[in-house]
Structure 1
Amino acid sequence: MCPVLGHLDGRFESADAEAEHRIAVLYREFGGPLLRHVRRSTGNDLQWAEDVVQETIVRAWRNSARLQWEPSLIWAWLLTVARRIVIDGRRRKSARPQEVEPPEADMMSVPDGSERALSAMVVADALRALSEEHREVIEQTYLRDRTISEAAEILGIPPGTVKSRLYYGIRALREQLRDKGVAG
């Protein structure tokens, strides 16, 4: 069972087995990218981001019969739901500010960016290990934030080929990162 969905064990026993499988796959495939996306939206607040991802997955489970399970559509749905949850959270926090004592100056940490730089180096190295075709579609869609159609036009290949290369490229990238001990 997925860690984020672990508290739903009792509810899943009576739920449709296919819905349970889809949600497990959904978390496995989209949980990491969704968490990274949500962390940016929450000001890098990991606890809040994990709560948002968990609530998003719970809502996907509740709506699993109505969702269209095409990866691009489900990703868009997850992003929309997560964004709304973050917005609602910001509204709640702004309605009643939390009282905190200011931290002591010697207890404050200063971010140095080394972890981010190291991660970028590892991902860049893993990308270099991919075939040129896979690297190109990942660069166009993820790094340059282009749609499948835009990437297809730029690369001069059909959108279906972009989707296929993207699917297999991401799988190969995950494998590269797993081999480097980065992704689990």
Structure 2
Amino acid sequence: MATATVTASATTDERAIVELQREHGRALLTFLQGLTYGDRQRAEDLLQETLVRAWQHPEAFRGPYESMRPWLFTVGRRLAIDARRSRLARPTEIGDGVLAGTADPLDITESAVTALDVRAAVGSLSPEHRAVLGRIYFQGLSVNEAAESLGIPPGTVKSRTHYALRALARCLPGYTGPRGAHRRSRA
């Protein structure tokens, strides 16, 4: 019970803290937002920590000054400086969004699902279009080589490749075509 008495007498009355926040909270929050480059969440955290310090130091209420505002601003500024130094001393934190958007390299689920989607999309193509894509993209043949192996003109290989890729783009959301296949500008 002795510690409860010491703790109660070593802290400020709760009503005094409420009054302190009502009187100086908005100005202190605005000041702290400037120190945190507009980060409201950090400024609110610093405001709370400043009020905790006021609660822990009742002697500040009995000081020779008329207003607590200078004391609060000094404590808030020092807390902001300490927090900034602490953040700079640690490695840069990343948000959960980066982790959620990054695929696990050991997880083959995503590539398996993509492979199934591609197989289904290729399966929906006509046999002629599948044959052209197979020669060009899977066997790595040139247009002339594919034309010779299929017994059709090179222009037909190009045309079927174009229409097959367009059909795949409709079947596969987010598919933009093969890498390096950019439209030529007509300048």
With the shorter chain as reference, the TM-score category is 0.3 to 0.5
Query: Which TM-score applies when normalising by structure 1?
Result: 0.43
